[in-house]
């Protein structure tokens, strides 16, 4: 334990700014993955254990598009759109067959695809690790805000994730499609009886979830190395986020992800040997005091 | 025999083949004595996150085995490699090693496992008495600890303590010249990371006693994000940073530290940077990172080394790795020892290998030696230099001094109770 370092940091604005943005970056990327997970669970009532694969595909799609076109914007688009299409196909062809099935069956299908997707990446892009490289537009000196260091690329990353959160939140609660989706989550039979194609909605929600994870992968690609299996560690942290925030709650995913990011960034100062453990400890505390998660609703 | 069914096979060549076949049947004692191949078993990591290194081990071995076979084989017997995937799991490596000897009939063994698996295979070699060369484990204790010593096992990998002595003295010289007193470390949180960092700082402080370690970070192995580690180091404001992160972890770390402009704020010593697997992947390699040599075709700066690196690249379309040269050296040494013993028998090769010095592209002076008393490779090229973003990546490598290495190694062995 190094509580002096933590106290020293909390009393210095420079350190506070740097560590807070560092926590926000980790949290925001995590949010994009976790919110897809929680959305799919909320509407389709399946836990998508293969969700990490979409994060991985997003990163690889972005890297390939960036190498082909040299355009960062197109790379992000490729990451998001590619995984959306992949998500739609995956849901229609495979996942839709196990909706009513036993949880174990769903788990088995998802886990099979974790392995299959990893091997597909290995066949297409090779087993060795890759790097996309930072676009030259962002190869600039970091900004200094109140003495703290903030890289411009991370500002972009945080704002993109924030926009996604706001659009998603408002879209689901205010728009017509959002209302239909929420209705379908509540009572798919009734929605179907009203003449709405629930298969399309389910496919769309899955594609949206995949797209958000893909976008996270694409945003992470310039700063993280790409390997087959890279989705796995992200998936585990996303689960912690959804468990803390409450399965099915978008606000919960946002708060959970940000808390986890901040725990990592400040925890690494105060508890350098126990940073990872802190996350789980926090999860345990939340679960004991509120078993449905911070924003989870009581099971009906 | 040719696999393509071209209509052009002449009657003469068919007859010659049939004749050769008849000869083999007619004179079985000749066939057994001369044509019997010698099987060499090789467990290595061909799947999972370090598969690239295992593959590069296999490539290097095959490159050298072809040469040995073309020159007549091991004491007249052609080598047949039997290479199996251990998936990087120690228990699997031990099982595969046992099977290679007992079921496949391998008479010799190349253990191309990382340290975790190497100790497991070592116990199999102890049990079965099979001749075994460890090619990739750099953990010093494998050969330095007398408890591990068996007459039939050798190591052709570099050794951790050699690396630390050379790295520590190189870094200390720069620390003194530039007045770098405040150091931070950032290494992966497992045995290799902890041990290597401890040995490096031990020798750094020995050569430059004024050095002080003001911050330590131990990210998990294969951690995807290092942002909190990067910012923590920035807060500590060290003058220099040491890291033994490697592979994809190192390239992630560099990309993430780059956007915080970290490399302009401190001298960085990353022992595993100068490996082609990392050098060719990082898109924006900062200039001036200090690194130990892993495999680089420009050090040692000899035509033999450059030719070896180019030949490997021509055959496999990628550059060799640190594991490549360590495995190639094993085949080179076995071939020489078999020649000296005039036998492909494991016991005789082991006897001939003790203290054997051979010409080798990876030698500091053009030769490497299998040290007789602890069965480990010495005299290989070892040094440190700074990076540039394009080939040759590390233009100048300052060679380590083997005399100093031997002195300090002896002292280290004493302090550990090994000698």
Instruction: Give B281's contacts in chain A (Cβ within 8 Å).
Output: 128-131, 225
Q: Tokens representing B416?
A: 């550990």
Q: Does a structural domain hold residue A230?
A: yes
pLDDT at B4: 45
Domains and CATH numbers, chain B: 161-296+389-400 (3.40.50.2300)
Nearest to B264 by CA among B284, B243, B286, B294: B286
Mean per-residue pLDDT for B231-245?
94
Average pLDDT for chain B = 90
Which residue of chain B is at minimal alpha-carbon distance from A126? B52
Question: Higher pLDDT residue, B7 or B39?
Answer: B39
Taking only the tens place, the pLDDT of each residue in A128-158 is 889 999 998 898 889 988 888 899 999 999 9
pLDDT score recorded for residue B403: 96
Distance CA(B348)–CA(B135), nearest Å, equals 20
* A149/B234 Cβ within 8 A: yes
In a domain, A246, yes or no: yes
A 237-296 residues with CB below 8 A of B?
A: 264-265, 267-269, 272-273, 275-276
The reply to whether B221 touches chain A by the CB within 8 Å rule is no
Interface of A with B in 120-139 (CB under 8 A): 127-134, 138-139
Q: What do you get for the CA distance between the two ends of chain B, in Å?
A: 56
Question: Cβ neighbours of residue B42 under 8 Å, at least 6 residues apart?
Answer: B57, B58, B61, B81, B82, B83, B84, B100, B109, B110, B111, B112
Q: What φ, ψ does residue A172 adopt, rounded to 5°? A: -75, -35
Distances (CA, A) of A36 to A219, A224, B229: 15, 21, 27
In order, the DSSP letters of A20-36 are HHHHHHHHHHHHHHHHH
Polymer length of chain B = 419
Is A229's Cβ below 8 Å from some Cβ in B?
yes
- Number of domains observed in the structure of chain A: 1
Query: With an 8 Å Cβ cutoff, is B231 touching chain A?
Result: yes
Hey, what are B114's tokens? 């990382």
ipTM above 0.85, yes or no: yes
A266 half-sphere exposure, CB direction, 13 A CA radius: 19
Contacts of A123 in chain B (CB under 8 A): none
| Number of CB pairs, chain A paired with chain B, less than 8 A apart | 110
Q: Is residue A222 part of a domain?
A: yes
> Min CA distance, B283 vs chain A (Å)?
5
Residue A63 pLDDT grade (very low, low, confident, very high; cuts 50, 70, 90): very high
- A-chain CB neighbours of B258 within 8 Å are 134, 139
Q: What is the pLDDT of residues B144-173, one digit of tens each?
A: 999 999 999 999 999 999 999 999 999 999
Q: CB of A196 within 8 A of CB of A187? A: no
- Average pLDDT of the segment spanning A77-85: 97
Question: Which residues have CB under 8 Å from B346's CB, separation 6+?
Answer: B107, B108, B130, B131, B152
pLDDT of B304 strictly over 80 = yes
Strand ranges inside B86-175, DSSP E: 108-111, 131-134, 153-155
Report the CATH number at residue A98. 1.10.3470
Tens-digit pLDDT profile for residues B194-209? 988 999 999 999 999 9
Q: How far from each other are the two terminal CA atoms of chain A, in whole angstroms? A: 43
Q: Is B344 helix (H, G, I), strand (E, B) or coil?
A: coil
The predicted-structure confidence for A27-62, as pLDDT tens digits, reads as follows 999 999 999 999 999 888 899 999 999 999 999 999
pLDDT at A290 over 60: yes
Residue span of the structural domain in which A74 resides: 3-129+141-289
């Amino acid at each position: 334990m190094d509580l002096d370092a933590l106290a020293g940091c909390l009393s210095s604005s420079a350190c506070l700014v740097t560590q807070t943005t560092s926590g926000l970056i980790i949290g925001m990327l995590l949010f994009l993955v976790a919110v897809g997970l929680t959305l799919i669970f909320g509407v389709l009532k399946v836990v998508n254990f293969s969700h990490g694969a979409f994060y991985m595909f997003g990163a690889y799609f972005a890297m390939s598009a960036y190498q082909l076109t040299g355009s960062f914007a197109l790379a992000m688009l490729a990451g998001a759109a590619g995984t959306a299409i992949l998500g739609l196909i995956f849901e229609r062809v495979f996942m839709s067959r196990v909706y009513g099935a036993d949880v174990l069956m769903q788990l088995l299908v998802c886990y099979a695809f974790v392995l299959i997707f990893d091997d597909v990446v290995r066949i297409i892009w090779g087993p060795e690790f890759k790097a996309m490289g930072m676009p030259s537009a962002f190869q600039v000196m970091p900004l200094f805000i109140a003495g703290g260091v903030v890289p411009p690329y991370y500002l972009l990353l945080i704002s993109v994730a924030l926009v996604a959160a706001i659009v998603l939140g408002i879209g689901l609660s205010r728009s017509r499609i959002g209302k239909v989706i929420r209705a379908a989550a509540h009572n798919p039979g009734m929605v179907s009886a009203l003449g709405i194609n629930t298969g399309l909605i389910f496919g769309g929600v899955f594609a949206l979830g995949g797209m958000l994870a893909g976008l996270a992968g694409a945003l992470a690609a310039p700063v993280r190395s790409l390997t087959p299996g890279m989705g796995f560690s992200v998936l585990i942290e996303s689960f912690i986020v959804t468990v803390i925030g409450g399965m099915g709650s978008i606000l919960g995913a946002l708060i959970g992800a940000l808390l986890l990011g901040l725990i990592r960034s400040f925890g690494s100062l105060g508890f350098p040997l126990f940073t990872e453990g802190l996350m789980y400890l926090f999860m345990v505390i939340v679960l004991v005091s509120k078993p449905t998660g911070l924003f989870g609703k009581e099971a009906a | 025999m040719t696999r393509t069914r071209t209509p052009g096979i002449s009657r003469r060549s068919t007859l010659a083949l049939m004749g050769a076949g008849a000869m083999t049947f007619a004179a079985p004692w000749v066939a057994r004595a001369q044509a019997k191949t010698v099987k060499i078993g090789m467990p290595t990591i061909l799947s999972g996150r370090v598969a690239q290194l295992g593959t590069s081990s296999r490539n290097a071995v095959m490159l050298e085995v072809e040469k040995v076979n073309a020159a007549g084989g091991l004491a007249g017997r052609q080598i047949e490699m039997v290479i199996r995937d251990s998936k990087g799991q120690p228990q699997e490596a031990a099982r595969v090693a046992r099977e290679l000897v007992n079921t496949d009939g391998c008479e010799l063994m190349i253990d191309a496992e990382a340290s975790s698996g190497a100790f497991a295979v070592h116990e199999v070699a102890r049990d079965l008495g099979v001749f075994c060369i460890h090619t990739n484990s750099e953990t010093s204790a494998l050969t330095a600890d007398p408890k591990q010593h068996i007459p039939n096992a050798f190591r052709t990998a570099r050794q951790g303590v050699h690396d630390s002595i050379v790295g520590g003295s190189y870094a200390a010289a720069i620390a003194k010249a530039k007045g770098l007193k405040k150091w931070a470390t950032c290494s992966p949180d497992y045995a290799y990371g902890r041990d290597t960092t401890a040995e490096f700082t031990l020798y750094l402080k020995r050569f430059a006693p004024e050095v002080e370690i003001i911050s330590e970070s131990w990210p998990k192995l294969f951690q995807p994000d290092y942002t909190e580690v990067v910012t923590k180091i920035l807060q500590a404001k060290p003058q220099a940073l040491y890291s033994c992160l490697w592979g994809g972890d190192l390239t992630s770390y560099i990309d993430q530290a780059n956007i915080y402009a970290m490399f302009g704020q401190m001298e960085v010593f990353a022992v595993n940077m100068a490996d082609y697997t990392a050098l060719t992947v990082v898109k924006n390699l900062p200039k001036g990172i200090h690194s130990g040599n892993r495999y680089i075709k420009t050090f040692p700066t000899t035509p033999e080394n450059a030719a070896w690196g180019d030949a490997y690249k021509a055959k496999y379309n990628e550059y060799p790795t640190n594991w490549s040269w360590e495995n190639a050296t094993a085949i080179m040494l076995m071939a020489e020892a078999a020649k000296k013993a005039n036998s492909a028998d494991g016991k005789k090769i082991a006897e001939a290998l003790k203290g054997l010095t051979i010409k080798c592209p990876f030698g500091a002076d053009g030769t490497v030696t299998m040290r007789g008393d602890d069965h480990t490779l010495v005299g290989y090229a070892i040094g440190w230099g700074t990076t540039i973003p394009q080939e040759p990546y590390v233009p100048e490598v300052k060679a380590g001094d083997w005399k100093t290495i031997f002195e300090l190694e002896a002292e280290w062995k004493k302090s550990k109770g090994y000698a």
